[in-house]
Chain A
Amino acid sequence: MNVIYLILSNWNFIAVIMLMMAGLYIVISNQNFIKKLVGLSIFQSSVFIFYISIGKVSGGTAPILTGIADTIYSNPLPHVLILTAIVVGVATNALGLALVVRINEAFNSIEEKTLLSHKIEDSRHEFEKGDSWK
C-alpha cells in the first residue's frame, strides 16, 4: 500500500523520470543526428518539469501580491531559473541543428554509421598519403 501511495503522491517525479530516460535513450541509441537532438530536447524538458513541479506549493497561488495577509504563494524562483534554462536549451538546439546542416553539407549524411565510415576513410587517407587538408 505504501508503495502505491508513494507513487501516487509523487507522480510528477515519475513522469520526470520517464521523460528523462526516454530522452537519454534516444540520444544514446539513435543513429540520426537530428533525432539525437530531439532526444536531447526531451531529456532537457524533463528537467524543466522537475524544477517547475518542485516550485509548486500546495494550495499556493501565483506569486503576485494580493494584499491579503496570509496568502500562500508558490515559489517563483524555479520558474525563473527554468526560463533561463529554456533559453539555453533553445540555443543548444539551434547550434546543434546548425552543425547538423554543416555535417550534411560536408559528408552528405547525418547517419552515425555512415559518418563513422567516412571518418575512418579520412584517417586512412591521412595515414597513407601523409597529408589531409581536406
Chain B
Amino acid sequence: MLILDNIPALLVAIPLLMSAIVSVISSDRIAWLFALLTTLVCLFMAYELIDIVSAKQILSYAFGGWEPPWGIAFIVDSANVYLILLVSFISVIATIYAHTMLAREIAVEDLPKAYAVWLLTIASLFGLSMTGDAFNLFVFLEISALSSITLIALGAGQDRRALIAAYNYLIIGAIGATFYVIGVGYLYAATGTLNLLNIIERLNELGTNQAAITGLAFMLAGIMVKAGIFPVHIWLPAAYSYAPSAVSSLLSAVATKVAIYYFARLIFGIFMNITQLIDFFLLYVLMPVSVTAIFYGTIAAIYQTDIKRLFALSSIAQIGYITFAFSLNSHSGVSSGVIHIINHALIKGALFMAVGIFALGIGKRATMVSLRGVGRQMPITFAGFVIAGLALIGVPLTAGFISKLYLFKAVFETGNGLFVAIIAISSALSVLYLWKIFEVMWLQEPYQPLKIEKEPAVAYISLWLMVIAIIVFGIYSNGVSSSGILAANALIGAR
C-alpha cells in the first residue's frame, strides 16, 4: 500500500501542503473545514501507525530512498507513536474548538491565514516528534516556533500585550534554537553524522569525547527552552496567557510535550552513553531544577489572579513533574513521565478551552475578579472545567490520578521519603489555587451584573470531548499506562 508505507512522510506533508492551499482560500468557513479535514486525516493516519509499529517494533522511514546516514530518516517506535496519536487527537479537538473561538477573537479577514499557520504548527509538531535527524529537528523546531509565534501574536486583537509576549518568545526561542544548532555542530564534528541512531553507535565507539559532551550540553539547553523547563521557561507564561484561547489550548497541550519527548530521547538515547556525566546531570541538575519548577509554578499560581497566566504557571509545575519523573532514571520513572505527558496534555488543553469559553462569555479577560459567580451562569462549561481541574489535582477516577499513581510508584521505588514528601506537598498545594477559582466562580457574587453570552455549543462540545477523554483514561487506564511502559522500554530499555 502506497499510503500505508508512507505515513510518516504524509503526516508532515499533508498538513504542510494543506497549509499552503488554505492560505489562498478567502472564505473562513472553507478554510476551517479544510483544516478540520486535514487534522482528521492525520488522526486516522496516526491510528494506522500504531498497528504498523506494534507489528514492526521500530519503523525507520528514509526520505527519497536515501538510507541513513546519508538521507534524512523519520523514526517511529513505541516511544513516540502515542505522542503522534496524542498530537493528532488534540489537534482535531482544538480545530473544532477554534471554529467559534478563533472567529470571535481575531479579525475575520485574517482567519484563513490563521488556519494556514495553524496547520503549519501541526505539521511541525508531527515533524518534531518523528524526525531522527538532529539537524532536521532544528528546522522543525524553527517552523514550530515561527508559526506558533504568529499564532500567539494574533492575540493582539484583544490584548496588545500579546505582541510583546510573541516578540519575547521569538528572541528567547531563537537563542534556544541557535544553542541547539551549536550543539549539533559539536556533535557532528565529533561523530561525523547527524542521524540520531548513528550518533549513538559512533559515540559508543568513541568513548568519552569532550566535543560530544559539550555538544550535548548545548543541545539540551536549547531543547529546554522549547520545553519550558524551569529556568528557561520565562517566555511561556506570557505567551500562553495572551494568545487566543484556541492557540493556548493547542500549544499548552502539545507544543511543549513534543519538546519534552525529544529531551527525553536525547537524555536516554544519547546522553545515557556518557555514563560518568548522566548520573550527575540527572541527580544534580535536572532533579533540583524540576523540584524548583514544581514549587515555583505551584506557588506562583496560588498568587496569580489572571486565570490563563495561572494555568500557564501551573504548566511549568506540571512540566516539572514530568522532568522530575525522568530524573529518577528508572523504568517506572520514565514510564510515569510519559503517562503524565499524555494525561497533562488532555487536562491542560481542556482547562485552557474552558477558560477561553468563560472569557468569551463575559467579554473580558478571565481574572479572579471578572469570573466571580460565572460558574452558575455557564454551568455546562463550568462542570467540564471542574472535572479537568480535579484531574489536575489528581483526584481518583480522572486521568490525573493515573499520572499521580505511577509517579508515586516511581518515587516509592527509590525508597526516598523526601521525594514522596515533595510530590505530596506540591500536589496538596495545587489544591489551593484550584479551590480558589472554584470558590470565586461558584460561591461568590458577580463583581458587576453579568451579561453572559450564550455558551457557544461547538466550543463546549470540544471541551467535553477532552473531559470525556480525561474520565475514560482515568477509569480505563490500561491503554495509557501500557503505552507509558512501552515508551519507557523504547527509551531506556526494559529494566
A residues whose Cβ falls under 8 Å from a Cβ of B:
24, 27, 33, 36-37, 40, 43-44, 47, 50-51, 54, 77-78, 81, 84-85, 88, 91-92, 95-96, 99-100, 102-103, 106-107, 115, 119, 122, 126-127, 130-134
- Name the residue on A nearest B184 (C-beta): A81
What range describes how many residues of B lie at the interface? 35 or more
Docked CA distance A28–B5 (Å)? 47
Contacts of A99 in B (CB 8 A): 149, 153, 163, 166-167, 170
Contacts of B150 in A (CB 8 A): 95
Does B156 sit within 8 A of A, measured CB to CB?
yes
Interface window among B286-294, B344-352, B363-371: B363-371
Does B52 sit within 8 A of A, measured CB to CB?
no
A54 touches B189 (CB 8 A): yes
Which one, A37, A85, A102, contacts B138 given CB within 8 A?
A: A85
Which one, A81, A119, A134, contacts B135 given CB within 8 A?
A: A81
Docked CA distance A28–B448 (Å)? 43
B170 touches A102 (CB 8 A): no
Does B175 sit within 8 A of A, measured CB to CB?
yes
Does B181 sit within 8 A of A, measured CB to CB?
yes
Docked CA distance A91–B141 (Å)? 13
- Name the residue on A nearest B193 (C-beta): A77
Contacts of A131 in B (CB 8 A): 363-365, 370
- Name the residue on A nearest B369 (C-beta): A130
A27 touches B171 (CB 8 A): yes
Assuming the contacts A92-B142, A95-B149, A119-B161, asked whether A36 and B364 have C-beta atoms less than 8 A apart, the reply is no
B 158-214 contacts with A by CB, 8 A: 158-161, 163-164, 166-167, 170-171, 174-175, 177-178, 181-182, 185, 188-189, 194
Q: Produce 1/0 per residue, B351-368, CB < 8 A to A.
A: 000000000000111010
Instruction: Tell me how far the C-beta of B378 lies from the nearest C-beta in chain A, rounded to whole angstroms.
Output: 17
Docked CA distance A130–B444 (Å)? 15
Docked CA distance A115–B165 (Å)? 11
Assuming the contacts A102-B156, A127-B367, A130-B367, asked whether A47 and B175 have C-beta atoms less than 8 A apart, the reply is no
Where chain A touches its partner, the secondary structure class is helix
Docked CA distance A114–B167 (Å)? 15
Contacts of A40 in B (CB 8 A): 171, 174-175
- Name the residue on B nearest A102 (C-beta): B163
Instruction: Tell me how far the C-beta of B260 lies from the nearest C-beta in chain A, rounded to whole angstroms.
Output: 22
Does B146 sit within 8 A of A, measured CB to CB?
yes
Could you list some 22 contacts between A and B, CB below 8 A?
A: A27-B175, A36-B171, A54-B185, A77-B188, A77-B194, A78-B188, A84-B139, A85-B181, A88-B139, A88-B142, A88-B177, A95-B149, A95-B150, A96-B170, A96-B174, A99-B167, A103-B163, A103-B164, A115-B164, A119-B161, A130-B369, A132-B159
A43 touches B175 (CB 8 A): yes
Instruction: Tell me how far the C-beta of B377 lies from the nearest C-beta in chain A, rounded to whole angstroms.
Output: 16
Instruction: Tell me how far the C-beta of A122 lies from the nearest C-beta in chain B, rounded to whole angstroms.
Output: 6
Further contacts, 7 of them, CB under 8 A, given A40-B171, A54-B189, A85-B138: A27-B171, A96-B167, A96-B171, A102-B163, A103-B167, A106-B160, A133-B363
Docked CA distance A101–B65 (Å)? 44
Contacts of A44 in B (CB 8 A): 174, 178
A119 touches B178 (CB 8 A): no
Assuming the contacts A40-B174, A92-B174, A131-B364, asked whether A122 and B160 have C-beta atoms less than 8 A apart, the reply is yes
Most chain A beta carbons < 10 A, residue from B164, B306, B447: B164
Contacts of A133 in B (CB 8 A): 158-159, 363-365
Docked CA distance A52–B53 (Å)? 38
A130 touches B167 (CB 8 A): no
Docked CA distance A64–B149 (Å)? 40
Does B100 sit within 8 A of A, measured CB to CB?
no
Docked CA distance A24–B370 (Å)? 41
Assuming the contacts A92-B142, A92-B146, asked whether A43 and B178 have C-beta atoms less than 8 A apart, the reply is yes
Docked CA distance A47–B447 (Å)? 54
Docked CA distance A122–B238 (Å)? 14
Contacts of A126 in B (CB 8 A): 306, 365, 367
Which one, B159, B178, B306, contacts A47 given CB within 8 A?
A: B178
Docked CA distance A81–B182 (Å)? 12
Instruction: Tell me how far the C-beta of A120 lies from the nearest C-beta in chain B, rounded to whole angstroms.
Output: 10
Instruction: Tell me how far the C-beta of A26 lies from the nearest C-beta in chain B, rounded to whole angstroms.
Output: 11
Contacts of B182 in A (CB 8 A): 47, 50
Q: Produce 1/0 per residue, B439-469, CB < 8 A to A.
A: 0000000011000000000000000000000
